[in-house]
Amino acid sequence: MKKNKNPFEYEGSNNLSDEEILDFYIEDFNYSRFIQSTRNVFLVGERGTGKTMALLYNSFIIQSKLAAREASSLSFDKIGIHIPCNTPLFHKKEHLLIEDSFRASIVSEHYLVLSIVSQIAETLSAIEEIEEAFKPYNKKLKEEFEYVLGITLHKASSFLTSITYFIKKEVIDTQRKINSPESNSFYENAFSFSSLALPFINSLKSVPILGKSHFMLMIDDAHDLNKSQVETLNSWIAYRDHSDFSFKVATTRKNHSYVTSNGGSILEGHDFTSIDMGKALFNKDSDFAKMARRIIQKRLDTLGRKIKVDNFFPINPDFQKDLEECKEKVRLEAEDKFKGGTKKQIRDHIYKYARAEYFRNRSSKANRPPYSGIDTIIDISTGVVRNLLDPCFWMYDTVLSESNNREIKSIPYTVQNVIIINRSEAKWEILKSLHKIVEGCTEEDSKKVFCLFDNLMVLFRERLLKHNSEPRAIMFSISQKKDSIMERIQPLLDIAIKSQMLYTRSGNSKDDGKQETYFVPNRMLLPARGLDPHGQHARVSLKAVDILAAAENNKSFPFVDADNELKQPVQTGLFDE
C-alpha cells in the first residue's frame, strides 16, 4: 500500500483489488468455518456487514493468491465460486415478456444457471494450474459435452474457455428469441440446473485434479434475484445431494423467501445454516468490538508502520479524565449503597451509571461531548463494518489533506470529534429526505420517520439524564402491538431499515423469554444530539400506539422513570384492548 493511501476504504468489497481483499480481510471464526464447509449457508445481514467480503475472501481466485502469498500449496478440496447477482445478466427482464408464468420461470432459471456455469468456468480458467491440468482432457471433455448437450463449442479454445464463449452466445440467442416480434415468444432450449450445471460439474470432476473437489457456489446479493429465481435456488438447496457442491447465499435480512418452486420450504438447521452478520454490540468485550479492533489494526498494518489502534485514534484526555472521575464517584456511591454486598453489584452499578454521571454533570450550556477514541468509533458503527470504516476514512482523509505528504501517525482527537459530529449531522440531513433515496418512500413517510427518530432521541436524552435504572438504553422493543397500529408503523420501520437508520436484532424477551425482534437506531445519529453512543445491555419497551403518535403527530414519548414503573405496574384501561 502506498505511504498515504487511505487504508480505510469502505466502498463495496467488489471494488477492492484481490490484493486489498487479502490485506483487509479479518476472519471471524464464528462463521468462517461454515463457509469453508459442505453445508448450505445463508449469510444474512444489512448492507455493510461484510457478506461480500466474506464470500470474496473464500473464493478460489483469492484463496489461490493467498496460497501464493504464503508460499503454501493450493488445496483443491473446496473451490469457492463467487457468483454476484448484481449484474446485468441478473437484471434481465426478458421473463417479463412471457405471459405464461411457468415458462417465465423456466427463462429465469435459464439465466441463473448460465451465470453459475459462466462463473465456474471463468474462475477455474483463471487458475494456471487448472488450465494446465485440463490440457490432456480438453478435446475429450469438449466432445462429450457437445454430444450430451447437442451444442457446438468454440474449436480453438480450451474446454473452460469454450464454455464461457458458449454461455455468452446463449445469452444473446435467448435475448434475440424472446425479444422477437412473435407473440408469447419462448426459448425452447432453456437450460436448467440438471441439464447444464450438473453435467458441467460432473465433467469437471472427471479431471483428476478436481476429482475430489467440492464446489461452493457463492450467490452474492441474492435479494437481487427475482421471485422465481429465489424459489428455484431454494428448490436446489432442498433437493440436491450436496456432496459435490453446496450453496452459500448472501442476502439482506428481510428480503429472502425460503419457499421452493413447488410451494414447500427449506428449513434452517436442516437444509441450511443461517449466519446473522449483524452483530450485537453491547460492550468492548463483545465479539464485534474485538473484531472491529482487528479490522482497524489490519488496515493500519497496511501502512507498513507499527501503530496500535488506540494510539492512532487517541481519546481526548479531558474526556477520558472526566469519565474516570465519574467512574470513581459512582464507585464510591456503589460501595456505600451496597455495603456488605457483592463485587458484582458494585460492578453492575458502575456499568449502569458511570457514563450517565458524566452526561448528567455536564452544564446545559456546554458544547457536545468531545467524542473521540477507538471505542467511540466502534460504538457509533452499531455493529456494522462499513459504518466502522466510514468515519475512519474521513478522519484519515482530513488529516491527509493537511499533512503535506508527511507520515500520518495518529488522528488528533479534535479531528475525530469534528468528523464524528459532521457525519452525525449529515445522517440527520439524510433522515430529513429519505423520500429521495428510498424506493417507495413518500415525502409524507419521510417526515413521519424523521419525527419518530427526533422523538426517540428526546426520550433517550431524558432517560440519560433522569432514568434511575437504565439511563443508557438506546435500543427499543415494541409492546402492545395491535394489528391496526402495526399496519401503520411497519412501513415506516421498513423505510428506516432500508435506509440503514435502523437495525433489527433478535434477543430474549424480558416477559416470557421467547425470541423477540428489537430495534437499534443507527448510533451515528446520537453524537449530533449530544447523546452517549456507548449504550448498555438494555432496551426500552415502547408501546406501538406511542410510536405511531410520535411519527404521525410528532408527540413526545411518555417518560416514566424506573421508580414509577415499579410503583405503578401497567394496567390496561377499561376500553383498552
Partner 1 sequence: MWNKQPIEIRMEEALIAQFGQEQGHRYYVQYETARNQLVDEIFPQIRAVEPSLTEHDATHIKDVLKNAELLLGEDISKLNGIDLYCLGLVILFHDVGNIHGRKKHNLYKNTVTVYNHVRNRIAKYNHERTVVLRAAQAHSGLSNTGSTDTLKDIDPTDHIDGHTVRLRDIACILRFADELSEGPQRTSTFMQVNNKYDPKSKIFHKYADSTHIHIDRPNERIAITYHIDIEKKGKKFSAKAEKEFIELIHFTYHRILKLDQERKYTKHYSGLLSPFKKTSVKLNIHVNGQLQNLDLNEITLTDIVVPGDECRNIFELDESYRVENILDALKSIGS
* Closest distance to partner 1 from the beta carbon of 231 (Å): 11
* Closest distance to partner 1 from the beta carbon of 41 (Å): 10
Tell me the angle at which helices 60-69 and 101-125 cross, rounded to the nearest 10 degrees.
Answer: 10
- Show the cell assigned to 519: 430495534
Is 270 a residue that touches partner 1 (CB under 8 A)? yes
Is 532 a residue that touches partner 1 (CB under 8 A)? no
Cα torsion at 263, 267, 272, 276 (round to 10°)? Answer: 110
Nearer to partner 1, 38 or 297 (CB): 38
Cell 474462475: give the residue: 123
Pairing of strands 515-521, 502-508: antiparallel
- Centre a 10 Å sphere on the Cβ of residue 169 and count the other Cβ atoms it contains: 14
Instruction: Give the integer Cα–Cα distance in Å for 253 and 502.
Output: 12
Is 28 a residue that touches partner 1 (CB under 8 A)? no
- Centre a 10 Å sphere on the Cβ of residue 365 and count the other Cβ atoms it contains: 5
Instruction: Give the integer Cα–Cα distance in Å for 357 and 405.
Output: 42
Is 243 a residue that touches partner 1 (CB under 8 A)? yes
Is 239 a residue that touches partner 1 (CB under 8 A)? yes
* Closest distance to partner 1 from the beta carbon of 513 (Å): 12
φ/ψ of residue 571, rounded to 5: -115, 135
Alpha carbon of 450 to those of 10, 433, 453: distances in Å? 26, 9, 5
Piece of 2-10, 268-276, 332-340, 377-385 that binds partner 1 (CB under 8 A): 268-276
Instruction: Using CB under 8 A, pick the residue from 38, 138, 195, 468 that binds partner 1.
Output: 38
* Closest distance to partner 1 from the beta carbon of 29 (Å): 10
Instruction: Using CB under 8 A, pick the residue from 4, 175, 257, 273 that binds partner 1.
Output: 273
Is 504 a residue that touches partner 1 (CB under 8 A)? no
Is 287 a residue that touches partner 1 (CB under 8 A)? no
* Closest distance to partner 1 from the beta carbon of 243 (Å): 6
Piece of 35-43, 146-154, 301-309, 516-524 that binds partner 1 (CB under 8 A): 35-43
Instruction: Give the integer Cα–Cα distance in Å for 444 and 527.
Output: 26
Instruction: Using CB under 8 A, pick the residue from 88, 263, 340, 569 that binds partner 1.
Output: 263
Nearer to partner 1, 44 or 167 (CB): 44
Instruction: Give the integer Cα–Cα distance in Å for 209 and 214.
Output: 12
Nearest CA-CA partner of 374 in 297, 298, 301? 297
* Closest distance to partner 1 from the beta carbon of 45 (Å): 18
Size of the site for partner 1 (CB under 8 A): 20
Is 347 a residue that touches partner 1 (CB under 8 A)? no
Map residue 191 onto helix, strand or coil.
coil
Q: Note the residues at the interface with partner 1 (CB under 8 A).
A: 33-34, 37-39, 238-239, 241-243, 260, 262-265, 267, 269-271, 273
